[in-house]
Amino acid sequence: MMSRLANRPVRAVLAAASLALAVTGCSTVDHAYRGTTRMVNPDKMTLKTDLKWLSPPSDMGLRTPRTDQMVVWLRCKNTSGADVPGIYEAVRAYLQASGYRITENVDEASFVLTTDVRYLGEIRTKDGTAALLTGAVLGGGAGGVIGHNLPHGHSYGLEGAAVGAVIGGAIGNVMANRNKMVEHALAVDVRIGERVPGGVRTTRDASGASGVSHDDAVNFGGGTEGGHSRGESTEGQSFEFDDDFYYHNNRVVTSAIRMGLTPEEALPVLCDRLGRALGAVLP
pLDDT higher than 50, residue 257: yes
Q: Across residues 255-282, what is the average pLDDT?
A: 94
Query: Domain containing 20: what range?
Result: 2-281
Domains identified in the chain, total number: 1
pLDDT higher than 80, residue 202: no
Q: What percent of the chain has pLDDT over 90?
A: 41
Q: What percent of the chain has pLDDT over 70?
A: 50
**Chain segment 11-52, per-residue pLDDT in tens:** 555 555 555 545 455 555 555 555 555 545 567 778 999 999
State the Cα–Cα distance between residues 203 and 242, nearest whole angstrom: 9
Element at 272 (helix H, strand E): helix 263-281
pLDDT higher than 80, residue 119: yes
Packed helices 156-178 and 27-40: angle between N→C axes, nearest 10 degrees = 90
**Chain segment 91-114, per-residue pLDDT in tens:** 999 999 999 999 999 999 999 999
pLDDT score for 122: 83
Query: Which sign does the torsion angle of CA 35, 38, 41, 45 carry?
Result: positive
pLDDT score for 243: 79
pLDDT higher than 80, residue 140: no
pLDDT score for 61: 87
* DSSP letter (8 states) at residue 81: -
Strand ranges in the chain using DSSP code E only, listed in sequence order = 48-53, 71-78, 101-103, 111-125, 181-220, 223-259
pLDDT band at 5 (very low <50, low <70, confident <90, very high): very low
